[in-house]
Amino acid sequence: MTAPILEVQGLTKHFGGVVALDRIDLAVPTGRIHGLIGPNGAGKSTLFNVITGVFQPDSGAVRFDGRAVNGASPHRLVELGMVRTFQKVHPFRGMTVLESVMVGRHARSRAGLLSAVAKLPGVGAEERGIRDRAHAALAFVRLEEHADDPAESLPLGLHRLLQLACALAAEPRLLLLDEPASGLNTSETTQLADLLRAIRRQGSTIVLVEHDMSLVMKVSDQITVLNFGHKLAEGTPEEVRRSPEVIRAYLGAGNDSAGR
């Protein structure tokens, strides 16, 4: 086991009288793909939102690469190397595909608005670097031929790839993906699985929330199962697939689709 890049300890989050997360512990080793599954309402997106600073926990701690990040803003977490995507795709209106990916890279930019307006030394070079990085991200997800297309003109499958390219442009050390296969067909899901493995080979750690069980089981090194805000099970894909508690709570008794 390598050292964890992400550690969650005793994380609890309430919304009124509803316990969305109940003392969740999680450790994600560096260089792994960690699946996070569970039925609707299990707390998966809430956990993502707490980890990435969208929500603040009622108790517990989040550590990224050994650093306590409770209270850190989402923008600050991106600067540190923690990047996430969202389940719903909202392309930037009026922007090309390339410009949209450049926005993702600008999150790591050192030049501010005043520097850009004043055209201070180094701003032009940084902007060229941002464009080059955006082109590289598009090439990685095989979208470079669409670089000049309006972002909102892409079909759903390519929108998912565009969202992934935007995240990769920020050079994440930890990439949190919220249902990246939602709405994809079989061929597109296979392409996504290949991309996830390639991202891991390049050195990024991935936490994957996904309802496509076949994808999760194929690409994950470890899987955590949530149910009604509690951690129900954790282990390798094979261990999770065979867990009676998981079968009853999520996969459904007699369901063997997770093995395919």
Query: Structural domain boundaries of the chain?
Result: 4-81+172-259, 97-170
Asked if the model's pLDDT at residue 226 lies above 50, the reply is yes
**pLDDT in the model for residue 50:** 95
Contacts of 101 (CB under 8 A, 6+ apart): 134, 137, 138, 162, 165, 166, 169
Query: pLDDT, tens digit, for every residue of 171-206?
Result: 999 999 999 998 899 999 999 999 999 999 999 999
Give percent above pLDDT 70 in the chain.
88
pLDDT (average), residues 10-17: 94
What values do phi and psi take at 171, rounded to 5?
55, 65
Asked if the model's pLDDT at residue 119 lies above 60, the reply is no
**pLDDT in the model for residue 3:** 81
Query: pLDDT, tens digit, for every residue of 24-50?
Result: 999 999 999 999 998 888 999 999 999
Which residues are bridge partners to 18 per DSSP? Answer: 15
pLDDT (average), residues 232-259: 74
Q: Which amino acid does the sequence have at 53?
A: G
Structure-token pair, residue 133: 């990085």
Asked if the model's pLDDT at residue 112 lies above 70, the reply is no
H helices then E strands: how many in the chain? 10, 10
**pLDDT in the model for residue 28:** 96
* Closest residue by Cα to residue 209 from 190, 224, 195, 187: 224
Mean pLDDT, the chain, rounded, equals: 87
Q: In what order do the strands lie in the sheet with 174-178?
A: 82-84, 174-178, 205-209, 33-37, 222-227, 230-235
Say which residue, 110 or 216, is predicted with more confidence.
Answer: 216
**pLDDT in the model for residue 92:** 78
**pLDDT in the model for residue 118:** 42
**pLDDT in the model for residue 68:** 94
Query: Regarding the domain delimited by 4-81+172-259, which CATH topology (the fold level of the hierarchy) does it fall under?
Result: Rossmann fold (3.40.50)
**pLDDT in the model for residue 105:** 79
Q: Which amino acid does the sequence have at 244?
A: P
Q: Concatenated DSSP letters for 14-58?
A: EETTEEEEEEEEEEEETT-EEEEE-STTSSHHHHHHHHTTSS--S
Confidence of residue 163 (pLDDT cuts 50, 70, 90): very high
